Amino acid sequence: MYNFFVDASARIGERFRISGKDRNHICNVLRMQVGDTFLVSCGGMSSLCCLKYMDETVVEAEIVEEDHRNTELPVRLYLFQGLPKGDKLELIIQKTVELGVAGIIPVEMSRCVVKLDEKKKKARRERWQSIAESAAKQSKRNVIPDVSDVLSYKQAMEKAGEMDLFLVPYENERGMAATREALERIKPGMSVGILVGPEGGFEDKEIELARQAGAAVISLGQRILRAETAAVTAVAMGMLHVEMNLDGDGQ
Ligand code: SAH
């Protein structure tokens, strides 16, 4: 979640008035809208605020919760997950939401066994979203991560290519140097996509397309992990790296 630091003079009653560089960032870079929430830190205390008003010189944000504990990572981790069999994605959603993902994107890949028709996709998505919601509440997240529509591989590459960093844990990759380097590239405020294959893994062609989209192909160690173990491991690895190395101002 974004966090802006202001002086005590910015507080007027239950609102913060934010101008200058931060206003520009909110309006023109982040393109926030009325109703969006973010944190405002003032005098060592963070408040959860809701954007109420914006014009050419100022943004006004109303305090929703004072002395709010931000539990969000200063980096947005998105899990792109090749559709696994049965209800495995439910477990993956529950666990990765607890670990701090910003969103989950189910992806159709060549070696996926399940094929969902449109009706099933819609019903599944609703169920997946409700699992994300309960996991977010249980783990005291500030936001409820979004489970997106199921994307084709091509659509997933386009979306992942827009991320600041795109990581692909690949079962045939050897050595941890690329993994270490990739983690070291993570900086506060970044969006990081992580694509994990289904039970059948990746086809060579898919790895090639991922590389073309800018992916860093990495290993998660010498053992072959099941898809759900790999998803949880990759997100946990990103989360712990961020928690241990980056401070939480989220900008
Ligand atoms: N069927 C494949 C394994 C697929 S495991 C085989 O037998 O070789 C499912 C997914 O988990 C993989 O596509 C990959 O994204 C991830 N994964 C599993 N083990 C991994 C490892 N050691 N390193 C990196 N990724 C791994």
Residue 10 covered by a domain? yes
Give residue 195 CA to ligand 1 midpoint distance, Å. 11
Q: Is there a single domain that holds both residue 89 and residue 51? A: no
For the full predicted model, state whether its pTM sits above 0.75: yes
Residue 139 covered by a domain? yes
Residue 9 covered by a domain? yes
Q: Is there a single domain that holds both residue 96 and residue 49? A: no
**Domain membership of residue 188 as a residue range:** 76-245
Which CATH number characterizes residue 44's domain?
2.40.240.20
Q: Is there a single domain that holds both residue 151 and residue 241? A: yes
Which atom of ligand 1 is nearest the CA belonging to 196? 15
217 lines ligand 1 (CB under 6 A): no
Return the higher-pLDDT residue of 44 and 166: 166
Section 47-62 average pLDDT: 96
Q: Is there a single domain that holds both residue 59 and residue 85? A: no
Q: Is there a single domain that holds both residue 49 and residue 94? A: no
Return the higher-pLDDT residue of 69 and 156: 156
Q: Is there a single domain that holds both residue 172 and residue 81? A: yes
171 lines ligand 1 (CB under 6 A): yes
Which CATH number characterizes residue 185's domain?
3.40.1280.10
Can you give the pLDDT at residue 117? 94
Provide the number of structural domains found in the chain. 2
Q: Is there a single domain that holds both residue 105 and residue 216? A: yes
Which atom of ligand 1 is nearest the CA belonging to 224? 19
Can you give the pLDDT at residue 119? 95
pLDDT mean across residues, the chain: 94
Pick the last residue of a domain from 65, 88, 113.
65
Q: Which residues, 6 or more positions from 194, have their beta carbon under 8 angstroms from its beta carbon?
A: 77, 78, 79, 80, 167, 168, 169, 231, 234, 235, 238
Can you give the pLDDT at residue 248? 52
pLDDT digits (tens, 9 = 90+) for 152-191: 999 999 999 999 999 999 999 999 999 999 999 999 999 9
Section 114-126 average pLDDT: 94
Q: How many CB atoms lie within 10 A of CB 64?
A: 12
175 lines ligand 1 (CB under 6 A): no
Residue 205 tokens, joined:
């062609």
Section 24-42 average pLDDT: 94
Mutate to test the pocket of ligand 1, among 179, 225, 232 (most ligand atoms within 8 A of CB): 225
Q: Is there a single domain that holds both residue 161 and residue 189? A: yes
Residue 250 covered by a domain? no
Q: Is there a single domain that holds both residue 109 and residue 207? A: yes
Residue 54 has pLDDT above 90, yes or no: yes
135 lines ligand 1 (CB under 6 A): no
Percent of the chain with pLDDT over 70: 98
